[in-house]
Amino acid sequence: MQSTDEIQSVDTAFAASNIATITANMNFYNGLYTYDLDNQLIAADAENVPEVSEDGLVYTIKIKETAKWSNGDAVTAEDYVYAWRRMVDPNLGAPYAYMFDGIIKNASEIMAGDMAINDLGVRAIDDHTLEISLENPSTYFTDLLTIPAYYPQNKEVVEAAGDQYGSTSDSAVYNGPFVLTNWDTASGNTWTFEKNEQYWDADNVHLDTVNFQYLPETATALNLYDSGELDVIELTGNFAVQNQSNKDFQTYPTPRTNYIEVNHETPGLDNLNIRQALYQAIDREAFVDNILQNGSIATNGFVSREVAWNPDTAVDFRDDAIIETDYDLKEAQENWEEGLAESNLETLSLDMVAADDEESQLFAEYIQSQLTEHLP
């Protein structure tokens, strides 16, 4: 199977760098909850729904006694306590630590260096009971418990591996449906998912082995597919158009949004009108229709389709939400001129960094051409 990204780490504290890393970690590990095929929240390591205090500040969650690590150790409440304290430790620098900020009690103070990690609002009542204290009631807290930042970690394994934890397949243990084999960060162009026989729901895992190969170039992947060396590849641009009549060709929605992240410390980018102009000057519809040509849908907001629905009307959130950004060349140019004047700039030169996979390069080239043409 083709992967257009490389796995960067199987340390869940650092599962943030690219799609391959996040997807891998979500297959190797379980959190307390996950989603079913209908995008409904269901229990994973948790035994059932949480018990919530009347004020909405304290969650008590029972953990399945059948939940185990791939080395046979039981998954315990202490594994969650340890992992969460490690996440907010300012010395670690976990990129998704902000997911705890303002959510778990004392997380903000700990991340600022004003409190000890042991003061985080989470504790193990016993081996299989976790108590969590929040800063404020949160209607989406159980949804947060589905992401890698909130997964457990086996303290003994993490500390035994030291700085090497998460950098090789053998340096970690896993509590999800698959384990990782044949991988390390030094030469990680291939890797294998193998069924985790210790997984509590192993009977419903129907794949024994999935082999991956890092191939950022579509042409190379397509040649290997045609020769029978790959079973699944991702097509973009002309390759997608040329293969639409192939009986194997399929399109399906994925809840993924590609976006530009700007450095607000760069002169000019600290100006709201300039930032708005950048977003308004990019014709997303033309990009997906004429360049990607792979079934992608242009979005006008950060949250993609197929992520959440209105609980009363079942309307997709994207259709219900306020339009955050849209292509408007006239307004873009007006905002651009106003922003330059406010920033005392006659022109603005920007540097853009993008991943080296083919799709990311298409994005970067298109954005560069749009901004150069529309905001001279």
Tell me: the pLDDT tens digits for 229-259?
999 999 877 888 889 899 999 887 777 888 8
- Domains within the chain, CATH numbers bracketed: 2-164 (3.90.76.10), 272-374 (3.10.105.10)
Sheet holding 122-126, edge to edge: 51-52, 58-62, 129-133, 122-126
For residues 308 and 325, the answer to whether their CB atoms sit within 8 Å is no
Residue 113: predicted pLDDT: 97
pLDDT at 357 over 90: no
Average pLDDT over residues 202-216: 95
User: 192 with 212: CB under 8 angstroms?
Assistant: yes
Give the C-alpha distances (Å, rounded to integers) separating 80 from 109, 127, 189, 195, 352: 20, 11, 31, 23, 38
Residue 324 confidence (pLDDT) above 70: no
Rg (CA), the chain: 23
Arithmetic mean of pLDDT, 135-152: 96
pLDDT recorded at residue 73: 98
What is the average pLDDT across 90-104? 96
Q: Give the rounded percent of residues in the chain with a pLDDT score beyond 70.
A: 99
d(CA 89, CA 117): 6
Residue 180 confidence (pLDDT) above 80: yes
* DSSP symbol at 181: E
Lowest mean pLDDT among 77-81, 92-96, 120-124, 239-243: 239-243
Residue 42: pLDDT over 80? yes
